[in-house]
Chain A
Amino acid sequence: AQSVTQLGSHVSVSEGALVLLRCNYSSSVPPYLFWYVQYPNQGLQLLLKYTTGATLVKGINGFEAEFKKSETSFHLTKPSAHMSDAAEYFCAVSGGSNYKLTFGKGTLLTVNP
């Protein structure tokens, strides 16, 4: 069984400020972890993923996330928010032989000028 908890359904930051979106997971097997982004009126696109190896992974648009096994976390960060980062962000986990993704409920990021 696997699950994802995203802390905070809505995060608001100022332009230029640090972005931190929190994700905790549960998985009975070593997980693969993903962050997806959904811009208004669009589908989801992959931001970054952790499979094996280096625990700090870099994605598109300056985002990165760190896999911390001891904390069962995969938080998403960006040092300096841009207006174009305003979107909904979904954390997801897969594991096991069926490779089905389980999604969190999403975090809506608002960037204020």
Chain B
Amino acid sequence: DADVTQTPRNRITKTGKRIMLECSQTKGHDRMYWYRQDPGLGLQLIYYSFDVKDINKGEISDGYSVSRQAQAKFSLSLESAIPNQTALYFCATSDAGTGNTGELFFGEGSRLTVL
């Protein structure tokens, strides 16, 4: 089983719908992240959480919200989806322990299409 699991892997929805992407991890890491990938733009950070009570906005948080339900679970919501939110979304984790470097461990990605 994957260490970082994202659901759903693929989703097609309509403009205005609420969508939730879920992420769970078995790596025991404190830090979790949501990134968005668009062709030619690389990865952009949406939100990150350094522990259950710590949520921070990234570069492109507008139109998104997150919830850290437990150390192992971090979900991303689109309250009212719009077509330019069509993208590949990645959840990632990192270790906050001594000597950590910020190395990220990624899930397989969730491909979202908003019609």
| Chain A residues engaging chain B, CB cutoff 8 angstroms | 9, 32, 34, 36, 42-46, 49, 51, 90, 94, 99-101, 103-106
Contact = CB atoms under 8 A, between A and B. Distances in A.
Contacts of A100: 45, 48, 102
Contacts of B100: 99
5 contacts: A36-B104, A44-B43, A46-B104, A100-B102, A103-B42
Contacts of B101: 32, 49, 51, 94, 99
B106 A90 contact: no
A106 B41 CA distance: 8
Interface string B40-57: 111101001000000000
B94 A43 contact: no
Q: Most chain-A Cβ atoms within 10 A of its Cβ — which of B94, B104, B109?
A: B104
B106 A44 contact: yes
A90 B42 contact: yes
Contacts of A46: 103-104
Given A45-B106, A99-B101, A90 B43 contact: yes
Q: Most chain-B Cβ atoms within 10 A of its Cβ — which of A32, A43, A104, A105?
A: A43
B40 A105 contact: yes
Contacts of A43: 4, 90, 106-109
Contacts of B102: 32, 94, 99-101
